[in-house]
Amino acid sequence: MADVPMVKLVLIVTGSTLRAEDVDRPLAYYLKQEVERSLADLDPAVGPFKVVVVADFRWLNDEPLQRLPTISVGGPGVNALAGQWVEEELEFSLAVEKQYYIQMDPELESLRVSIWGMDNPTTQIAVSVFLTRFLERFLRRCDEESIDLELEDDPD
């Protein structure tokens, strides 16, 4: 039996609608790339992390995933998780009215972030703002608080 590596996971969640698949999923993969780049630039003691993009309904129906640090991309109209977090009143750390929003606990007690705009161009702006203003602090908190999960090797 092969050793099962232990890693810290950060999830990026996108919607399952056709519009979300078309425009938010590529944005989520861009965010994944930037998160991985930031992790590489942080103190070597941070990590190791694996960043995974998943669909909203997968996250909502897989309870163990709900304990992991999570970044949701896309608005409540196309991402069921973003809709849930709006209803649960996840705090707004930044709201540029009628343009874009970043929802997250300012103290990062909860490692949940929702990034969305009124359309895809403003969601792209929101992602950029998150990357420059909030990502490093979020990743450091993830390192302190994240849950290690086993990742099974792919069968050969």
Query: Binning pLDDT at 50, 70 and 90, where does residue 138 land?
Result: very high
Cα dihedral 28/31/33/37 (nearest 10): -160
Q: Which domains, and CATH codes, for the chain?
A: 6-150 (3.40.50.12090)
Q: For residues 121 and 2, give the distance between their C-alpha atoms in angstroms, rounded to a whole number.
A: 45
Which among 51, 4, 47 has a CA at the least distance from the CA of 154?
Answer: 4
Ranges 30-44, 109-123, 126-140: which has the least confidence? 30-44
What's the pTM? 0.88
Evaluated on CA atoms 123, 124, 126, 131, the torsion sign reads positive
Of 140, 112, 148, which is closest to residue 35 (Cα–Cα)? 140
What's the gap between Cα 46 and its chain centre?
18
User: How many percent of the chain have pLDDT more than 70?
Assistant: 86
Q: Answer whether residue 91 shows pLDDT above 50.
A: yes
Q: Taking 50 as the threshold, does the pLDDT of residue 153 lie above it?
A: no
Amino acid 152: pLDDT: 47
Q: How many residues does the chain have?
A: 156
